[in-house]
Structure formats: C-alpha cells, structure tokens
Structure 1
Amino acid sequence: MHLPPLDIFSCSESTSLYSTVTSTLPLPTASATSRSAATSTLTAIQNLIQDVIQSSNSNSQPTERLEGQFHHVQLAKLANGDALMLKYPSSFSIRSLRHEVQSLETEYRTLLTLQEYTQLPVPEIVDYDSTGYSFGSPFLLTAHRPGIRLSEALPYISATEKKSIDRVLGYTICALASLSSSQFGPITQVFERSGSASWREAFLTLFESALRDAEDMLITLPYEFLRRCIDQHIHSLDYITEPKLVALDICNPEKVLVDENTKQVTCLLGLSNVIWGDPLMNDAIANGNDDFRQGYQSLFPEQEGDHVRQSIYAVYRAVVQIVTHHYRPHSGIDELDARRSMAHALNELAL
C-alpha cells in the first residue's frame, strides 16, 4: 500500500511504559516548592482530561506516574473504569539526541497511520497538542490498553506461547513494511515533504546525526574510521528503492504488552522512533529466531546485500546505544556490550 506524504492526515513524541511507581505523583518530601509543583501538575492533568473527555464519567482519580526515561508518563483512571495514558516531555534539563527531538509527534503520526491502515494493537489516540497551549507542554493522550511488559512475562511463558509471540512480532514487521511512501527518512520529515529521495542519503543523515551527538559529548569513538567504513559499503543501500515503514523499537520486550493470562500480545508501544526506510534496520530481524523469521519472511524473503546492510545498521544502533548511555547514564544500556556489538559489525564489514 502506497501512502503519499501529508495527504493521509488532516491535522497536525522517547519512552514507552516501564515499571509502575508506587506513589501517585513524584512528590519530593524535602521541598515544599516541589510538593506545590506536583500538586499543580496533578490539577493540570485532571483539568486537561475533563476538558478533553467532556463527560460525567470523566472525573479522574489521582493519577499514577509510570517510569519513563525521556517523557513523563501518567496513568489516569476515570470514574467509569476506563484509563488514559498521558505522555509529555520531561524536564528541559534532560538532553535529547537529535533523532529524539520530535519523538512525541513521531508517535502521534505513527499511531494515526497504523490506526487507519493496519489492524495492529496500538493505543488509540484521544488527543494531541503540539503547541502546549492547553496544558503548558506538548502532550499525547491515548487510551490505556491493559497488559504486562513482555520482559516481565518471559520467565512465565511456555515454549509454545513464546513461539506464538515471536510469530506475531514477525508479522508485525510485515504489516509495517506493507506500507510505503514516496520519500525516505524520519516520519515527521516525510509528512512535511522534506524527506530524502534515496535511502543512502536518508541513512547517512541518521548516521551523521548520531556521530555528532557523540562528538557533542566528547565520547571516545573512532569517528573517521566509522565514517570511512560506512562509506565503503554505502552502495549496498542503493538496493532499497521503496521506503517502507520501520518502527525501530516495536519488538523491544520492554515495549510489548501481553495479556497476563493468555500471554497474547495486547499492545505495541515502541512507536516514537519510526522512519521510512529499510525494514532490516529493525534489530529484531537480525536477532530473531526461526519463529520470528517465519512471520517476517512470509512476505519479505532474503535478497542481495542483506548481510552487508545488517552490519551497517548494527554499527548505527551500537553508536546510538553508546551515545544514549552517555546522555542518560541510568537508561540501563550496557556500554561495553554496545561497543562489542559495534566491533563485531565492523569486523563483518571488513571481511
């Protein structure tokens, strides 16, 4: 299915759901100012929800804060039993990588696209405001889908249930890759008609942005060697002539929700890092097992240059992980593991 940029939408986002915080709001006890600010935030959230829902059932209970690395995520339970998820930017003191700057809008546009053109289990949009006028900050409000993180459920999942989940995730990549556009690059740029004409150009822009993020933090990396190595193999990207929708984090176990009883996938949350490009960019394809590949390769069999492109993308992902670790040291990323992955991918390209 071919999607023309912009024409899909009539109107105008880095973190998914993590573990639940036991307090209803972050209320530091050491500061009366902090308590006052938290109370003000709670009031603002309740007012926002009442304005959006405009219903007698909209009276919300105290909101529950869910952990997020790049955005605040609040769970608001309504009087009628429904629940809403509110996502808005964290403190401006948290530095963002270049590809994260528009992550809230990325998630919004991706959700619109998937809800219109697929049957994938994603959150339903309730409201979105990119200006911050009504709330004091840009926000995305979605309906809450029940479930537990796949990463939490894995110890209790049978082999049969795991096979089923892997196949579903493989089919998910297929469903995304069945959508195409006329330009390459981040979804926000493409829908503004400012994407790239070639995948080579779009990927080099992404890669250079990651390297510049690293240079900004004075991170020790072999910058010129990385640039030279990618440049030597960049011609392999010219095999990709049609932009496909790629959600880079959609198979991350932290961002996949499953039913606690049936262990079936109930929601996909990794939608804030999305591009139009090569589906092989998703590391789940490189690291997926036979069941995952059964779902993916049913529509997209292997083709020439796959191995080289996967190594190029592995270098990119490793650089992004290293940079993210330095920007946000508590993100749970193992820098040494990322550096080993980068070295392995570079060795593969040298063969």
Structure 2
Amino acid sequence: MHLHAPLDVAPFSRFAMSPPTLNHSSDLSTPSRSQSPSVDFASIRTLVRDLLPSSRSLQQLERFPARLHIIYLLHLRDGSHLVLKCPPSPRTRVLRCENFSLANESTALGIFTSMTSCPFSVPEVIRYESASTTIGTPYLLRTHVGGTPLRDLAGRLASTHRDTIDQSLGYFLRFQSSLTGPSFGPLVTVNSGRGARTWREAFMLLLESILRDAEDMLIALPYDMIRSGIQAKISALDQVSTPRLVALDAGRPENVIIDSRTNNINGLVGWGATIWGDPLLAAVFWFNDVENIREAFWQGLGRQNGVGQAAGEVERLQIYAVFRAAYAVVSQYYRPAQEELQELEGRRCLTRALSELQGA
C-alpha cells in the first residue's frame, strides 16, 4: 500500500518545457478560488535539476485545482512524477489549523519513511522548505502515486472488494495509532516543544481555533451551547493519556486512493491535519456514522465489538462529532465548494451532534 499526500484532484492544464514562465489566466479558476500568482517555470526546472540526476529532468508541468494549496504534478523525462505543493495564494482565506499543513504533511511522511518496520510503502519527501529562496515560497516536493478516489468508485465496487478495502483501512488506522509521541497536539507544535501535556488541553486548543475562525467571519453559531456542552463532558477526554498518531481526515472516501485495475488501496491522502492525540478523532469515527462502518473495517482495526465499550468512548465520540460539524460549517464560509459538505447539512449535523452530546 502506498500512502501519499493530497492529490485527489483532476488536472486542468499542462505545459511543455518551452514556456519560461507560467501565467494562469482567470478562465482556469472557478469563481470560488483565489487566483494563484504566476509560477516561474525556470525556477522549478532548476529545483529539479539540483536535486535529481539529469535523467530525471523536468519535461512537463501540470497544474491541479485544489481547494487550498497550489499543487503541480511534475512530469520527468524518465516517465516518473513528482508533486510540488506550495502555500495558498495570499488572497486565500486560511483557517488557523491550516497554517502549518505543509510542515505537518512533511513531518508525518517523514515519520513513516524513517521506520524500518513500517508495513506500508510511503512516498519519499524530496525536500521541504519552510522559507524557500528557489521558488519564492515555502513548498513540499515529494514523489507521486496515482489512483482514483474511493468516492468515485464506491458505487461500482463488488462487496468482496469493498471488504478488502475496509479491512485494509482498519489495519492502517490500527498501525497508525500504535505510534506514540512525547506530547499532544499538531506534529509541528510538538516538534517545536510546545505540545500540550494533556489531551484535554490540546483538543480545546483545536476547538477554540475553529470557533475563533468562525468569530472572525461573524458566522452565526451556537457558541455558548458548543462550549458548555463540551465542558459538561470534558472529563471523558482525560481517559486519553497516551499521544497517538492521528491523521484527522483518514478514511474519508475522497482521501482513499484506489488502483482501479486491482480495486485495492493504492494510497491514502490527507496528511496536512495530522496530530498526536486520540485515534477516535479520525473522520471515519464521526459519531453519527459509526453505526454504518462495515464489519471488515472493525476486523482490520482489531476491534470486533466496534467502539463505545471502553470508558468515555461514547462521550468522546459525541464531543468529536460537535467539533467535526462546526469545522464543516466554518470551512464552507472560508472556501465554499460544491463537492464538500454544504453549510446547511453541516448545520444539521451540528444540531444533531449537540443533541446527542446533551443526551436529548
């Protein structure tokens, strides 16, 4: 299985080696996306030349329409590909938790590639620059593994293939959560020595960052109800005493990449929001969807009885459902997108999650 960073988008432009500079005109962007700055093609070619042998020189550059980062697929002369990810345009609204997503992604992939016992193949991070002078912005350059998102194949997969995929997902999350860290919080925060001592503290920082983003945009949310409801059951978070590796978006259908020839998992995407925390915060455990998780997933995870049996698990899932629903609503205000959970549905999920949290 290959694990790689987000590339769950379709290409919309390709450029041969001849143009020295790439300028993307407005007709290549949807109205909801901020226009990216011009990209210096020669600088990217120089970057690849300095890092790789001449046999892997840059042949073509392909732009991907992503919601957040500026992403390019680099076609090399030897037939292989690299991915170049740059920060969003300065005009793109960014949530607080997204400020260090490139560094988080690089750190997460580095954890796996440094392990001699890792059961999965992971893409190599060629270089991560936090203050690059080569292309003018921070960037992440890594190898690429392609495929089709599970979201686009789910309705066409045979039951046996879907069971294999779900069991693999369960096993991946089981392995991922076996990795432990020194403290709680986003990877880059912990690496800098600023991690939280308790999961309660780290989670509340995550929650408050989303609520502050909402307040900045004057979004109408039941702030008092969210805070008081979570505070009423906050002691359940104290059951989490060991910081475990958690990719918050792991398991979402758009982040599971399938090899359409074999119908097996070819990669998992969504590494920018990776933390040391509680594995139950992963998107696959969203409280309102737990009952729909297939048995094969639980088998891969090694939990035949699902979740909710251990102390505080139900309360934690209820708390996390509120967090996820609030995030869904707020992110729609920052970057509306038709393919994502819409605001109205997000608000319905938030109302339902708050009701569950309050025991109604």
Taking structure 2 as the reference length, what is the TM-score of the superposition? Answer: 0.87
Partner of 2:322: 315
Q: Give the CA deviation at 1:120.
A: 2.7
The whole-number CA distance in structure 1 between the counterparts of 2:256 and 2:45 is: 28
CA distance in 1, matches of 2:57, 2:101: 29
d(CA) in 2 for partners of 1:157 and 1:328?
31
Match of 1:347 in 2: 355
- Give 1:59 deviation, angstroms: 2.1
Q: 2:88 & 2:323 partners in 1: Cα distance?
A: 26
Aligned ranges 1:249-288 → 2 under 5 Å: 249-286=249-286, 287=289, 288=293
1:313 deviates by: 0.3
Q: Which residue number in structure 2 is paired with residue 240 of structure 1?
A: 240
Could you say what secondary structure the match of 1:134 adopts?
A: coil
Tell me the residue number matched to 1:78: 76
Q: Which residue of 2 aligns with 1:181?
A: 181
Give the Cα–Cα distance (whole angstroms) in 1 for the partners of residues 8 and 254 of structure 2.
7
Query: Residue 11 of structure 1 aligns with which residue?
Result: none
Deviation at 1:26, TM superposition (A): 6.3
Are the structure 2 counterparts of residues 68 and 330 from structure 1 closer, same or farther at C-alpha, using a change threshold of 3 Å? Answer: same
State how many pairs are aligned. Answer: 331
1:60-79 paired onto structure 2 within 5 Å? 60-79=58-77
AA in 1 matched with 2:294: N
Q: Deviations over 1:128-162 (max 9, x none)?
A: 11112222111111111132222222233211111
Instruction: Report if aligned partners of 2:244, 2:277 keep a CA contact under 8 Å in 1.
Output: yes
Deviant stretches of 4+, over 3 Å: 22-26, 297-302
Counterpart for residue 44 of structure 1:
43
Within-5 A mapping of 1:72-151: 72-117=70-115, 118-151=118-151
Q: Report the CA distance shift for 1:29/1:114 in structure 2 as closer, same or farther (over 3 A).
A: closer
User: Paired residue for 1:27?
Assistant: 24
Q: Distance in 2 between matches of 1:205 and 1:27?
A: 38
- Aligned CA RMSD, in angstroms, stands at 2.1
Q: What does residue 9 of structure 2 align with?
A: 18
TM-fit CA distance, 1:22: 4.1
Identity within the alignment, %: 35
Q: How does 1:331-346 map to 2 (within 5 A)?
A: 332-346=340-354
Q: Which amino acid aligns with 1:274?
A: T
Q: Relative to 1, partners in 2 of residues 1:61 and 1:224: Cα closer, same or farther, differing over 3 Å?
A: same
1:222 match: 222
Cα distance in 2 for residues equivalent to 1:147 and 1:296 = 24
Retained in 2: the 8 A contact 1:64–1:76? yes
Tell me the alpha carbon deviations over residues 319-344 of structure 1, each in whole angstroms, 9 at most, x when there is no partner: 11111000011263311111111111
Gaps of 5+ in 2: 16-21, 29-36
> What is the distance in 2 between the residues matched to 1:86 and 1:263?
27
Match of 1:3 in 2: none
- How many angstroms apart in 2 are the aligned matches of 1:89 and 1:156? 35
Moved more, 223-232 or 56-65: 56-65
Aligned with 1:304: secondary structure? Answer: coil
Partner-residue secondary structure (3-state), 1:197: coil
Q: Which amino acid aligns with 1:322?
A: V
* Counterpart in the other structure of 1:204: 204
SS at 1:257's partner residue? strand
Deviates more, 1:103-112 or 1:248-257: 248-257
CA contact (8 A) 1:174 1:295 kept: yes
Give the superposition deviation at 1:249: 1.0
Moved more, 56-65 or 196-205: 56-65
| 8 Å Cα contact 1:17-1:67 kept in structure 2 | no
Letter in 2 for 1:297: G
Name the SS for the 2:58 alignment partner.
coil
Kept in 1: contact 2:177–2:244 (CA 8 A): yes
**How many angstroms apart in 1 are the aligned matches of 2:23 and 2:261?**
31
Q: Contact conserved, 2:171 with 2:300, CA < 8 A, in 1? A: yes
